[in-house]
């Protein structure tokens, strides 16, 4: 018997002799909670009691397991329970979860590792730089209150990103997060399609369009873009899945997402869908197979597409032939012109983050027709709201994410099943960036959480490749983060770590 075991047994005997055991404390706690709930039911509505119990259990679990708390927070971010159950809005579920996650990570790090590790990475510095540009734009903003409100909301995404790179630190955790992401995006698609089929739609621009159950999906154009950038992950996972039932589920997810894009009635979303299929085919090793499947898929989509959507999508061809533009396209062009004039008037820092609509209504609307028109293009949005500084910081971030993923894909070649899986996810990240850049021609996607998410996932993979190398079947090239960072900006060649 070792010394630690002897101490444990003596402590246990001492507590038993005093009549205090852990089981007694557990029962005492349960009795206290039961009595408290019995009393509170006379003063508090049942929905708050139920929410309180769930929040208490989830909070206790989160405090000891930050990774599961991170998954729970992402789940809450997408499902938005406070919007589905208005009574929960007073609780502030998302804010409470963020606080619990931060406390959980600090406590677990101090207790288990005796220190708090702070991950530094060029992509993280670039994300913070882009955020600081938004913050400093508030000093020159045409409406400071709007910029401050936006920055506070955007800061939640920054905190979530930092938690991802700190907590998702193993291959297993990374896989779990990716699977949750795919399931949540599929939920947005399936719930939207079900709502559409049951008559819960919005009638805009002459057609019935899909309606998201919560603000997580956004308007039809935003929802279509979300499906476009989620689809590459699903399609690549179909090829990586080994079990037939899992492939079948993923095929169902992919079909739901494609159908949701169609029902959104978004021409930009349809362009993003087609471009995503093209990029996926272009980077695939089985071009003939995937090309044939794409042709069949397009044929089936057109066959089952309602006539009102066929007429809407066909307007693109009419515009290309010089036909008259509709009201939607006219307003989009007006927004682009206004964005260009905002940039000319405020070329360095723009009119301020999240103030395009206010600036248009106050200074750039046509005479006698003031309206808070949005940019309807990420490219005009960034030059108008953040100026030249914003353009540099934002596109430098995208450049770093793409370059790191291209290097990751090269490093993961020949890495067995693990290398193939993570290389596939890296390829999906790059494709989703290109797709969103295309849909962003017609959408205001500058502050989308997806940019932060793919940045965090890239950092997590860059950190985690050393863990993948521990698998006997893998033979990946090991490159330090610092060496890769220098190589990416052209200062030094990539070198192998010592000991290889």
pLDDT bucket at 347, cuts 50 / 70 / 90: very high
Positive/negative CA dihedral, 455, 456, 461, 462: positive
What mean pLDDT is predicted for residues 19-26?
50
Q: Compute, in degrees rounded to 10, the torsion defined by CA atoms 55, 57, 62, 63.
A: 110
Q: Tell me the Ramachandran region of residue 354: left when phi exceeds 0, alpha when psi lies from -120 to 50, beta otherwise.
A: left
Residue 115 has which token pair? 């220190």
Angle at 258 between CA 254 and CA 260, to 5 degrees: 115
Q: From the CB of residue 181, how many other CB atoms can be counted at a distance below 10 Å?
A: 18
pLDDT at 414 over 50: yes
pLDDT above 50 for 195: yes
The pLDDT, as a whole number, for residue 487 is 41
pLDDT at 8 over 60: no
Comparing 80 with 430, the larger pLDDT belongs to 430
Q: Give the containing element (helix H, strand E) for 204.
A: strand 201-204
Look at residues 160, 323, 192 and name the one whose alpha carbon lies nearest to residue 265.
192
Would you state the pLDDT for residue 470? 38
Q: Three-state DSSP class for 207?
A: strand
CB 436 within 8 A of CB 429: no
What share of the chain has pLDDT > 90, as a percent? 40
The answer to whether residues 439 and 223 touch, using CB atoms and an 8 Å cutoff, is no
pLDDT at 19: 45
Tokens of 109: 């790090």
Decide if 478 contacts 465 (C-beta within 8 A).
yes
Beta strands 201-204 and 207-210 are antiparallel
What pTM was estimated for this model as a whole?
Answer: 0.81
Structure confidence at residue 187 as a pLDDT band (50, 70, 90): very high
457: helix, coil or strand? helix
pLDDT at 478 over 90: no
Three-state SS annotation for 401-453: HHHHHHHHHHHCCCCHHHHHHHHHHHHHHHHHHHHHHHHCCCCCCCCCHHHHH
Calpha distance 292→21 (Å, rounded):
67
Q: Length of the chain, please?
A: 500
Q: What is the pLDDT of residue 421?
A: 92
Q: Which of 30-34, 125-129, 239-243 has the lowest mean pLDDT?
A: 30-34
Is residue 275 within 8 Å of 283, Cβ to Cβ?
no
- Residue ranges of domains in the chain: 22-117, 121-167+335-500, 174-324
| Residue 227 CA neighbour count, 13 Å, CB half | 38
Output the six-digit token pair for 80: 């938005």
Dist. CA 487–CA 495, nearest whole Å: 9
118: tokens are 């702070």
210-219, 234-243, 375-384, 459-468 — which is least confidently predicted? 459-468
Sign of the CA dihedral running 397, 398, 403, 409: positive
What SS3 state is found at 299? Answer: helix
- pLDDT-based confidence at 189, cuts 50/70/90? very high
Q: What is the pLDDT of residues 381-400, one digit of tens each?
A: 999 999 999 999 999 999 99
The three-state secondary structure class of 208 is: strand
Mean pLDDT is lowest, of 65-69, 131-135, 455-459, 466-470, for 466-470
């Amino acid at each position: 018997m070792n010394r630690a075991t002897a101490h444990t047994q003596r402590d246990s005997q001492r507590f038993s002799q005093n009549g205090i055991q852990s089981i007694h404390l557990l029962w005492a706690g349960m009795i206290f909670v039961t009595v408290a709930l019995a009393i509170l039911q006379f003063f508090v509505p049942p929905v708050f009691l139920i929410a309180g119990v769930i929040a208490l259990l989830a909070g206790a679990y989160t405090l000891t397991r930050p990774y599961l708390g991170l998954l729970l927070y992402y789940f809450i971010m997408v499902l938005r329970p406070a919007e589905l159950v208005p009574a929960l809005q007073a609780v502030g579920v998302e804010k409470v979860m963020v606080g619990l996650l931060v406390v959980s990570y600090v406590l677990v790090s101090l207790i288990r590792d005796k220190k708090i590790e702070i991950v530094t990475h060029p992509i993280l510095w670039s994300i913070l730089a882009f955020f600081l540009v938004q913050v400093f734009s508030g000093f020159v903003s045409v409406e400071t209150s709007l910029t401050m409100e936006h920055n506070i909301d955007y800061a939640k995404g920054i905190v979530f990103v930092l938690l991802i790179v700190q907590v998702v630190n193993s291959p297993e955790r990374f896989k779990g997060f990716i699977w949750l992401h795919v399931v949540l995006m599929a939920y947005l698609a399936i719930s939207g399609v079900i709502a559409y089929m049951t008559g819960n739609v919005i009638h805009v621009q002459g057609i019935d369009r899909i309606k998201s159950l919560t603000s997580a999906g956004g308007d039809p154009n935003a929802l279509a873009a979300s499906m476009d950038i989620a689809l590459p992950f699903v399609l690549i996972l179909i090829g990586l899945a080994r079990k037939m039932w899992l492939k079948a589920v993923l095929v169902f997810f992919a079909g739901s997402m494609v159908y949701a894009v169609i029902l959104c009635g978004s021409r930009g979303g349809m362009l993003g869908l087609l471009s995503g299929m093209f990029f996926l085919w272009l980077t695939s090793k089985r071009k003939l197979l995937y090309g044939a499947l794409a042709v069949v898929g397009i044929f089936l989509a057109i066959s089952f597409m309602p006539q009102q959507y066929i007429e809407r999508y066909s307007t693109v061809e009419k515009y290309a032939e010089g036909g008259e533009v509709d009201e939607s396209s006219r307003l989009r062009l007006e927004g682009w012109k206004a964005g260009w004039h905002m940039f000319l008037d405020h070329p360095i820092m723009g009119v301020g983050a999240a103030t395009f609509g206010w600036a248009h209504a106050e200074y750039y609307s046509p005479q006698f027709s003031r309206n808070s028109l949005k940019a309807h293009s990420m490219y005009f949005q960034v030059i108008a709201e953040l100026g030249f500084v914003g353009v540099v910081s934002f596109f430098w971030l995208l450049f770093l994410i793409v370059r790191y993923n291209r290097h990751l894909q090269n490093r993961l070649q020949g890495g067995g099943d693990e290398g193939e899986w993570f290389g596939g996810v890296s390829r999906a990240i790059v494709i989703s960036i290109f797709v969103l850049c295309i849909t962003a021609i017609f959408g205001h996607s500058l502050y989308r959480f997806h940019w932060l998410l793919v940045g965090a996932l890239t950092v997590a993979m860059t950190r985690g490749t050393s863990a993948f190398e521990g698998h006997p079947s893998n033979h990946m090239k090991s490159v330090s983060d610092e060496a890769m960072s220098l190589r990416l900006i052209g200062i030094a060649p990539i070198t192998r770590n010592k000991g290889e």
